[in-house]
Structure 1
């Protein structure tokens, strides 16, 4: 964390943030979680917290004058499941792993920069960055915090990560899609655009502050789930989605389902050169008739449900890719913890 940000966190503005946090918690405690009330309370807290805040600017890195064909870095942020608790994972461990992720990304980028310039980073938020609170029976016994605390905890970690990357890249672009764990309550209880992932992204964007070198469109589609996004990287089109749309499969991963869905989406939703998803906590790269798909890992560990039901266990990890005008040139599976 920069010295400027450290000093900011000691100011009276932080007390305003804490006061807004407390007001929202008290409001939620007095209300039933009827449609719209949770959404309104969270956004009001974020708006209150932003009022009067003078968030320090991130110092831009020195211009990269290296010669060679430039590449862009692409970070897949997937399935943080913030708030979930397992024998080896909770919100505190999640914060440590996101911090570790930022450090390792910078080191790997520096290695790439010895050969060519890497001036821009694309961060893809692939959903389920929060665990949720009531999307399936018994979930309340598997979390260490409620949805409100999950959103603000994950938003703080994400904002710090983005600010750290702004200090290492000349430009940063963040593109997000929502996950099924971001759903508020059981299916059909809330409007489809009411999603904790989307709200967390917006809170994080506000916490980053005004940065001209940051492009971060809102993850929102009126009346619909913002289930996909398309991003352009040096002329190549990337298709982003969470992955809960894909069913079937063997040993917990639907290989055939991905092939069918991606072929259909390419014909009916958007044209794209690459695709990225998440949901299955299984870091995977597959090649499908000219299309390469990466499926992201999770930063959680010791998923006892997966161990019992799927006889599977994943390791905490996230993908970091590099691409030039011709296409993807390198991929790293960044292991955490």
Structure 2
């Protein structure tokens, strides 16, 4: 069956006291204060073609002849229901198109990777309680360009971090066992494409390459290396604001949709289903319809709240940090935790809040003209490293400088 479809697009500018009143004025209710300042209506006509089976066509003809029976109406309504369901599914697929593209990219990237198992290390057993190393990664913003930062520079700096991690771990092992490694991914690992106006001029790669090619390559190189030096790796990943998709219309997407999470999840699938590597495990909070913005990681009796940090005010506003942290500890977050670790602000610092320590991670990024101009701030590229005793908590921590020093 062929016919015409008409799309009615109406744009109104309404002056009212609040959003609720504006909506009622726009819909024609005269008893609400406000006025319509501009009203423009546009109708777009287009051809459509629907394929119905023979029975449905006959029912439509009967309906048009005003001789419809209940059975004819039922057939026609069933066909309309199928047509509308197809339309809904089509629109849903359009919204999910970016996510599907990244999955295809990840599949292509992983299909050529050697999936041979990685040999377990032989770690000398020393007396004393074993401690756990904690590698903290935050605000890579893979794909971002500054005068001295790019995807290639990031890859080089994570290699520097990896070597320093192993060197410091060997120093620690001269005194006590260090068998396991926890990796905390604190978000903004990817840069996104529509986070702020003009961003397209400040990236060297889109989401396809960030999440499907370059991101997996850097993370796989790191994971494959540390698996040769630790008995077990546990990865916990939370999302950042730069992982969001959709630009100004991002609120139309499922809140669960985030490119940081997709990158983490692709790594989990690769090591679980591809490599079938039992010595690396993942905790990536997810679930349809929610952001799932935090995670708790536990090492022995020590546990830390992990967030990206876009929930927090700018550095230096102690009262704002105190209010958030104490509210979360008082029950807003139901799980127990001692400390908090976050990123987002690209500069490392820590503060004591009650009995907790709140730590903020640096970033591998270095020279940033925006931070220079508007915040009078410039930080050396660094990422954090800690060692945690199962009963005593954090025993020591390091700032790993990534600018060649």
Tell me the TM-score normalised to structure 2 length.
0.71
- What residue is the counterpart of 2:32 in the other structure? none
* Aligned partner (choices 223, 230, 234) of residue 162 of structure 1: 223
**What does the per-residue CA deviation read over 1:199-256, in whole Å, with 9 as the maximum and x for residues that have no partner?**
1112233444221111113342221112100111011111100000112x4xx55433
Bigger relative CO (Cα 8 Å, ≥ 6 apart):
1
Structure exhibiting the larger radius of gyration computed from Cα positions: 2
* Aligned partner (choices 246, 253, 261) of residue 198 of structure 1: 261
Asked if residue 102 in structure 1 is aligned to residue 162 in structure 2, the reply is yes
- What number of residue pairs does the alignment pair up? 302
* Aligned partner (choices 179, 185, 191) of residue 119 of structure 1: 179
> Using a 3 Å threshold, how does the CA distance of structure 1 residues 254 and 203 change in structure 2: closer, same or farther?
farther
- What residue is the counterpart of 2:299 in the other structure? 233
- What residue is the counterpart of 1:20 in the other structure? none
* Aligned partner (choices 246, 249, 260) of residue 312 of structure 2: 246
- What residue is the counterpart of 2:385 in the other structure? 320
Report deviation, 1:71: 0.7
Asked if residue 216 in structure 1 is aligned to residue 279 in structure 2, the reply is no
User: 1:159, 1:207 within 8 Å by CA — same for their partners in 2?
Assistant: no
- What residue is the counterpart of 1:55 in the other structure? 115
Report deviation, 1:145: 1.0
Mapping of residues 32-111 of structure 1, within 5 Å: 34-47=94-107, 50=110, 55-111=115-171
Mapping of residues 143-154 of structure 1, within 5 Å: 143-151=203-211, 152-154=213-215
SS at match of 1:188: helix
SS at match of 1:184: coil
Point out the more displaced range, 61-70 or 142-151.
61-70
> Using a 3 Å threshold, how does the CA distance of structure 1 residues 87 and 50 change in structure 2: closer, same or farther?
closer
Unaligned runs of 5+ in 1: 1-32
Report deviation, 1:50: 4.7
Unaligned runs of 5+ in 2: 1-92
- What residue is the counterpart of 1:3 in the other structure? none
- What residue is the counterpart of 1:333 in the other structure? 399
Mapping of residues 183-194 of structure 1, within 5 Å: 183-186=244-247, 187-194=250-257
- What residue is the counterpart of 2:318 in the other structure? 255
> Using a 3 Å threshold, how does the CA distance of structure 1 residues 256 and 282 change in structure 2: closer, same or farther?
farther
User: 1:156, 1:204 within 8 Å by CA — same for their partners in 2?
Assistant: no
Point out the more displaced range, 139-148 or 36-45.
36-45
SS at match of 2:366: coil
User: 1:156, 1:207 within 8 Å by CA — same for their partners in 2?
Assistant: no
- What residue is the counterpart of 1:171 in the other structure? 232
User: 2:149, 2:365 within 8 Å by CA — same for their partners in 1?
Assistant: yes
- What residue is the counterpart of 1:128 in the other structure? 188
**What does the per-residue CA deviation read over 1:59-88, in whole Å, with 9 as the maximum and x for residues that have no partner?**
111043111121111111000010000001
Task: Give 4+ residue runs of structure 1 displaced > 6 Å after superposition.
Answer: none
- What residue is the counterpart of 1:13 in the other structure? none
Asked if residue 299 in structure 1 is aligned to residue 364 in structure 2, the reply is yes
Separation in structure 2 between the aligned mates of residue 89 and residue 80 of structure 1, nearest angstrom: 10
**What does the per-residue CA deviation read over 1:129-168, in whole Å, with 9 as the maximum and x for residues that have no partner?**
0111111111111111111111121221012111111111
Separation in structure 1 between the aligned mates of residue 156 and residue 113 of structure 2, nearest angstrom: 26
Tell me the TM-score normalised to structure 1 length.
0.85
Separation in structure 2 between the aligned mates of residue 253 and residue 146 of structure 1, nearest angstrom: 34
SS at match of 1:120: strand
- What residue is the counterpart of 2:197 in the other structure? 137
